[in-house]
Structure 1
Amino acid sequence: MMASDDRSAVPVAAHTATGARRWWARAAFALAILAAVVPLVFAGLLSTVGLLLVGVGGVVVTVAALYWFLASRGVVRWVSLPIAVLTPIVVLILFIRADLLAVVVASVVLMFLSVLCARAALRGRPSDTAVREVPAPPVRHPVLIMNPHSGGGKVAKFDLQRKAEELGAEVVLLEGPGTFDVTDEARQAVQRGADLLGVAGGDGTQALVAAVAAENDLPFLVISAGTRNHFAMDLGLDRTDPSRCLDALRDGVEVTVDLGRINGRPFVNNASFGVYAEVVRSPAYRDDKAGTVLQMLPDLLAGRAGAPLVTQIGDITVRNPQAVLVSNNPYGTSDLAGLNRRDRLDRGVLGAVTVSVASARQAIGLLRRANVRGLTQHTTTEVIVDSDTPQTPVGVDGESLLLPTPVRCTIDAGALRVRVPRDRPGVRPAAPTVDWVRLRELAWHRQAG
């Protein structure tokens, strides 16, 4: 009898969730309509049209000026910068002088609330982003490799070595004379009988040790002691206190995730080609990041520097993109270029984003997400990036490399067993793209009972 009650609760819960999403969708439409009505009521039709023209024109001029600032040198660059800065100020002054600032602010706030409601309606169920957990078997000889210089010295700041050793782990510190081969250190640990490998360091170091763990079917422990810790974030780990990652040694669960491969080399986050890879490859970048970017971007955007790329994404060919990003599982698509966060790391596919902005018009087109040539987003199991040079610059998990051309990216599905704490912050789902057609169907479509 109780089992029957439990089964009947499932469709009731699903119906309640669908009903809540329907009302979020209806609220989104109501707020969007209000955002359009407020200017009409308080400013009139002509003033509303003027508001729209001034607002859209200001955005277009600002984006175009920013593009010219990045893509030009000399007089054009330094004339474009004040235009980009002053245009929003001029638009604001025009709204104030027309006594329409309050109307604009009210309309913008209503539209912002509409988007929030739309995303609440379109957000998937928690089960859509939850990676399957399994009980973690006990370990006898965990080995943790720690880079004391990573993340500005987080290993010492959070006393990670002592805390790990108190939990029974062997700690290998990457310091002292000589050059350390992280992969070799991990393989030596396996030979010493390690039954778990872990890393306190950046994402590039994480990937190298993760590959050794995957090769030997050993669980892998991520300690968020790097600078940005993107892999840790997408695993739902605590990035503010890396010592909490060590809780996985005493109360952990296992999740199975994918590994990206680029010419056979592992990556946990992404591999980038084009503008970013060329800039970070420059010897001057480390000492003067902003100056190097401004110096190199005009030639890179115009195609006068760097080899032209041809990107094969499954059956799709993209020629001469300025930037290509291939990720271990796709990023969210709620922002301009899809570089958000990854809800899942176990879908068995690569995410591929290409960007082409060879003119101010294309840069403006990216805002509308209507420029197919300017921005493409795909999921696939293989990406091949070719050029007419024997080697291609690539940024792999933040590290600058030169790899033999053509460069082949693949996905190693389910390759890595990751041990994570049972109690952890969890993955915050990426905000969904606001699709008004889908939202309309959700708001008013009624399924037959």
Structure 2
Amino acid sequence: MEGSGPAGSPAARLLARLALLAAVGSLVVLLLAVGDGGLVVVVAGFLGLVLCAAGIWWFVAHRGVTRLFGALLAVAAPVGVFVLFAYEGVWLLALFLVLCWAAALACARQALRRSRPERSKRAAVAAPPPRRPVLIMNPKSGGGKVGRFGLVERAEALGARVILLDPSVHADVAALARGAVAEGADLLGVAGGDGTQALVAAVAAEHDLPFLVVSAGTRNHFAMDLGLDRTDPSRCLDALTDGEELRIDLGDVAGRPFVNTVSFGVYADVVQRPEYRDDKAGTILTVMPDLLLGEGVRRLDARVDDTTLSSQQALLVSNNPYVSPDELSGAGRRPSLDDGELGVLGIKVEDAAQAADLAVRGSQSTGLTVLTAHRVEVDSDMEEIPVAVDGEALRMPTPVVCTLRPGALRVLVPRDRPGVPAPVPAVRWRRIFDLAFGRTERPAGSSP
């Protein structure tokens, strides 16, 4: 929460002024060029975006001729806009306006990023090396990263005991972790996917033991938000000899732990399909029409603290909020894992018009709801609903309750690690104006 204070550093003020200059400059050029193609650029660009979004909706939500038409429209709309710009001789003007707005947004984001005070949270504390660390490793995870990076040999050379899972046999990793604790382990770690990480992390939290994350999964979202090296998982093992400790939150969904996200609705339905793992794109195209408009349509209701969300098609609950809704595409980041709040993202898009509204207005669209909460209760007219917990396909009885255990998990990380990149904040032009002219920030919740 931002309070009152000086409106940023000199560098932040300069960037804010450059952002305003670029934005105002593009508007001035557009007004001067209204009679010479400026109106064509605005109207054609807007219509192209709307038609492209509508085409994508028809392609995803329908089959047969409608799907084919949607695919053609999604491709033809932007191509048609470019052809029109070339025919009317306004492509240079359009390019100039796009570059101006891109520069304005880039400067605005950098200004907001530099104006934010340094975070005092997620402070690491010195930690002695564990004496009896135990690591559970999945040799299939991440396409075989355990073997490719020699993680077993490296861990054993650093004094750890490794439990190597047999890919052909189902293993209860939580039971293995509890067995290791009973035998005297003073650290638990996992080289595997985020779902496996969460199960072992819960055991570590239960016994107040440090937990080690080895980025040997496919996407390694948890490792990314901890600031670990995802390109070389062997570097995570440096924490065994030169590490420091972080205190972070641990999510809970109906008694099951999660470190990243819990998904309800469309995505959770898709990952239930056995063919999804081998053919993600094909499975999505096959089942989406039924899930969005057909007989397979399910709607979810959620109680997000004191706010009610009705008839949602998809709902995503995260262990601490993402900085933007980009987590839907896998590109989102959580700037903090110790704020003690759940992030909540609800989606309700039922036709092409709402899809276009989402494309044009983004997070301001009525089809997208972004909240934070301490408790989320998800309900449905079904007794049991599909749920994806850190990517793992499960089914849970309704209502499903998500909560957070603040500071429950001790994570051991290497002292030398890449770190978490500064988040890219959403651009609010009133804030940019205040920053550019040195105005004092208003306390959150105060009247303008």
TM-score by length of 2: 0.92
Tell me the amino acid that sits aligned with residue 110 of structure 2. Answer: A
| Equivalent position SS for 1:127 | coil
- The alignment-based identity, stated in percent, is 53
Q: 1:439 aligns with which of 404, 409, 432?
A: 432
Superposition deviation, residue 288 in structure 1: 3.1
**Secondary structure of the corresponding residue to residue 128 of structure 1:** coil
CA 1:101–1:437 in 2, change beyond 3 Å: closer, same or farther?
same
Q: Secondary structure at the match of 1:304?
A: coil
1:6-405 pair list within 5 angstroms? 18-41=9-32, 43-45=33-35, 47-123=37-113, 125=116, 127-128=118-119, 131-175=122-166, 178-302=169-293, 304-333=295-324, 335=326, 340-367=332-359, 368-369=361-362, 373-405=366-398
Deviations, residues 280-316 of structure 1 (Å, cap 9, x unaligned): 1123323432222112111211263153211111111
CA offsets 1:311-351 (integer angstroms, 9 cap, x no match) = 11111111111110000000012659696110000000100
Pick closer, same or farther for the CA change 1:332–1:68 going to 2, 3 Å.
Answer: same
Greater relative contact order structure (CA < 8 Å, 6+ sep): 2
Secondary structure of 2:118's aligned partner = helix
User: How far apart are residue 156 of structure 1 and its match?
Assistant: 0.5
Output the CA distance in 2 between the equivalents of 1:103 and 1:68. Answer: 32
Distance 1:126 1:428, change over 3 A: farther
- Give 1:249 shift: 0.8
1:321 alignment partner AA: Q
Question: Which SS does the other structure have where 1:348 is aligned?
Answer: coil
* Cα offset, 1:100, TM superposition: 1.4
1:409 aligns with 2:402: yes
Distance (whole Å) between structure 1 residues aligned to residue 294 and residue 300 of structure 2: 10
Between 1:128-137 and 1:217-226, the stretch displaced more is 128-137
CA distance in 2: counterparts of 1:419 and 1:306, whole angstroms: 43
Structure 2 distance, partners of 1:56, 1:445, is 34
Ranges in structure 1 where 5+ consecutive residues have no aligned partner: 1-13
In the alignment, the residues of structure 2 paired with residue 210 and residue 226 of structure 1 have an alpha-carbon distance, to the nearest angstrom, of: 15
Distance in 2, matches of 1:22 and 1:45, equals 35
Count of matched residue pairs:
434
Tell me which residue corresponds to 1:425: 418
Letter in 2 for 1:348: G
Moved more, 267-276 or 437-446: 437-446
Alignment-mate amino acid for residue 359 of structure 1 = D
What value does the CA root-mean-square deviation take over the aligned residues?
A: 2.0
- 1:421 maps to amino acid: P
Give the distance between the partners of 2:150 and 2:57, measured in 1 at CA: 46
Measured after TM superposition, the shift of residue 125 of structure 1 is: 3.7
User: Deviation at 1:370?
Assistant: 6.7
SS at match of 2:11: helix
The one-character-per-residue Cα deviations of 1:65-120 (angstroms, maximum 9, x if unpaired) are 11111111221111121111111111101111122112211211111111011001
CA distance in 1, matches of 2:300, 2:9: 45
